[in-house]
Amino acid sequence: MALDTSTAPSAAPSKLVKAATSETRFARRTLIIVALGFVALFLVLPLATVFIEAFRKGPAEFATALRDPETFSAIRLTLIVAAISVPLNLVFGVAAAWAIAKFEFKGKAFLTTLIDLPFSVSPVISGLVFVLLFGGHSALGPFLQKHGIQILFAVPGLVLATVFVTFPFVARELIPLMQEQGTSDEEAALSLGATGWQTFWHVTLPNIKWGLLYGVLLCNARAMGEFGAVSVVSGHIRGQTNTMPLQVEILYNEYNFVAAFAVAAVLALLALVTLVLKTALELRYSDEIAASRRH
Amino acid sequence: MEVRVQNIRKEFGRFPALDDVSLDIRSGELIALLGPSGSGKTTLLRLIAGLESPTDGTIFFGADDASKKSVQQRNIGFVFQHYALFRHMTVLDNVSFGLKVRPSSRRPPAAEIRRRATDLLELVQLSGLEKRYPAQLSGGQRQRVALARAMAVEPNVLLLDEPFGALDAQVRKELRKWLREIHDRTGHTTVFVTHDQEEALELADRVVVMSKGAIEQVGTPDDIYDHPVSPFVYGFIGQSNCINVTLSSGEIWFEDRPIGLRAANEPDGAATLYFRPHDIELIDGCGGCLAGLVTASRRVAGTRHLEIDLGRAHPPVEIELPPERASSTDHTRVAFRPTKWKLFRKEGDIAAAQPVEEPASQLARTGT
């Protein structure tokens, strides 16, 4: 027996001994099933429904629905609003993140909190703010009317509401990144004789470009999909001030399901394209992204 | 270029980081700012660079008042503690950056920029790594890229913030020797910050010892080690012992007996005696000495360190002896006397202004 025990450890181990940190097969499978099931039920299923409903009566009906002038106008308006508000938030976001991450000033904590405000406030209130500011009964109302400036129920109002709602995306993405990177790269550039602009273009921007891109993509997705705030300031003038999400609601309320889901499908498609774009970029430049985080 | 710092004061909020600091840095000199963390050494370096602006005081580069100039106008080379290399640029682009961003009137042609960057990379022994990115380099290599980048702009003064702080001990030693060689070859006026006294003493022409926002002493490494001017420098540089003594008619007393050292022309009263562990002699039979029991004994390379308990109210002192002399004294009573030492009076005492230092020849040589 004494001899047996000395050989036992080398004879059996491969099957009996398992790594201390790995879970049992059962636990692993359960976790995977729970995660996949949740994603399928709450993300994939609704998305699939949108496309199935859109094509329920065939691609011809789908195409007809999209060719409707009101729908077409909604798609155009959505793209215009996004094309104006995303660049605006790109500039504001970078400026705010720069100020918060690189400078010390009074009221910095307050500004950081303020940036989150659009996330914490209900979108309806975000829209209402602008109605109260620029509406006919507001202090500014008579002045605007006198000079024939149309803000509410027009593109400017839609842009304002969208900018307000999507403001945090770029800034939120950049602040932690810039704080982590600190100021020494910029100081190095300055000490080598670079001007402020040169430092920004050649040093800061390349350092934050991936975070910036991610923020812009998220910002764009939300800008195109925003409903609440835009709904309040839009006035729902058909063919004029309806964006895609508003158009979906109108069509749905009119029991025009195919058209409603067709527009919804296009909207969902835009979101999917955004995600695919982001993933593709991440794959293409994964080395560089990893390097910029590591160093 | 010669750099003169005059009566510089720097406050962060209400906290003074530097208080009335003046320092003359000679042209072509390699000078170390040495001090514990919070002593203001990095602040002083950043003030010279122009990365901070002083609350008060002026900094001259040669005859020019540099304190009114921006960091770009001062034309300095700054090496950051963590190198701050531009991670999206290759090694070559990093080194050329300072030349490429110049306005076109002062910018050398592209071929010239490339040649200079390549030459510098050769100087720092990184030829062949031009196309690498910082993330693909070791710590020591990054350090050398940072130095080449700083030197590319032909700076008036080269400023290094803890240049070897982030490297492991072996690489640190190599780079130290290498930096000295580079300095001797290029002759840049160089200021570096360190908290490592070995680094400062080994590398620098002169060492500036700083503490609590003020300069304690400026001198050659020999000066600083052999003739410390304050208790802080004595305690901070190298090993030292300090014991509380009393002066009585020119003789130094420890507790109730004289220790065989004389400090003529010193008024009576309490004082603190400083001496280094290796500046002692053993004495047989004690007619005026320090004596105590050996409580611990450690062999460190070529010497043996003995810890000696002088009595209940005193912290133990440490002495260093050649191992062959020390072996006989383990766990026994040992009598010794400092051969080089210095007295400092308590603060507020007028005599404190003039510390007493006695060369060994003047010692009362009783008992030997």
- pLDDT per residue as tens digits for the range B287-325: 788 888 888 888 888 888 888 888 777 888 898 888 777
- For residue B148, the chain A residue with the least C-alpha distance is A192
State which amino acid sits at residue A286. S
Average pLDDT score over residue span A111-138: 87
Give the pLDDT of residue A283.
82
Of A193, A288, A292, the CB nearest to B101: A193
Average pLDDT score over residue span B5-33: 91
pLDDT band at A293 (very low <50, low <70, confident <90, very high): low
A194 touches chain B (CB under 8 A): yes
Give B206→chain A minimum CA distance, Å: 25
State which amino acid sits at residue B104. S
**Using the beta-carbon criterion (under 8 Å), do A188 and B76 form an inter-chain contact?**
no
pLDDT band at A16 (very low <50, low <70, confident <90, very high): low
Set out the domains of chain B in order of their start, with CATH numbers.
3-232 (3.40.50.300), 239-362 (2.40.50.140)
Of B81, B87, B98, the CB nearest to A192: B98
Give the pLDDT of residue B366.
31
- Residues in chain B closer than 8 A to A285 (CB atoms): none
Give A181→chain B minimum CA distance, Å: 10
Asked whether the predicted pLDDT for residue A1 surpasses 50, the reply is no
pLDDT tens per residue across span B152-180: 988 989 999 998 887 888 888 888 888 89
Give A293→chain B minimum CA distance, Å: 10
Asked whether the predicted pLDDT for residue B128 surpasses 70, the reply is yes
3-state SS class at B8: strand
User: Token digits for B24?
Assistant: 């003359």
Query: What distance in Å separates the CA atoms of residue B56 and residue B70, rounded to the nearest whole number?
Result: 16
Indicate the pTM of the whole model.
0.79
**Using the beta-carbon criterion (under 8 Å), do A207 and B88 form an inter-chain contact?**
yes
- For residue B158, the chain A residue with the least C-alpha distance is A191
Express as a percent the part of chain A with pLDDT over 90.
38
Counting one residue from A and one from B, how many pairs have CB atoms under 8 Å apart?
71
Average pLDDT score over residue span B348-366: 42
Asked whether the predicted pLDDT for residue A274 surpasses 70, the reply is yes
Give the pLDDT of residue B79.
93
Q: What is the mean pLDDT of chain B?
A: 85
**Using the beta-carbon criterion (under 8 Å), do A198 and B98 form an inter-chain contact?**
no
Give the pLDDT of residue B174.
84
A205 touches chain B (CB under 8 A): no
pLDDT band at B347 (very low <50, low <70, confident <90, very high): low
- Residues in chain A closer than 8 A to B87 (CB atoms): 207, 291-292, 295
Give the residue from B243, B242, B261, B265 showing the smallest Cα distance to B252: B261
Residue A21 dihedral angles phi and psi, to the nearest 5°: -95, -5
pLDDT tens per residue across span A46-99: 999 999 988 888 888 888 888 889 999 999 999 999 999 999 999 999 999 998
Query: What distance in Å separates the CA atoms of residue A266 and residue A105, rounded to the nearest whole number?
Result: 45
Asked whether the predicted pLDDT for residue B28 surpasses 80, the reply is yes
pLDDT tens per residue across span A24-49: 888 899 999 999 999 999 999 999 99
Of A191, A193, A292, the CB nearest to B87: A292
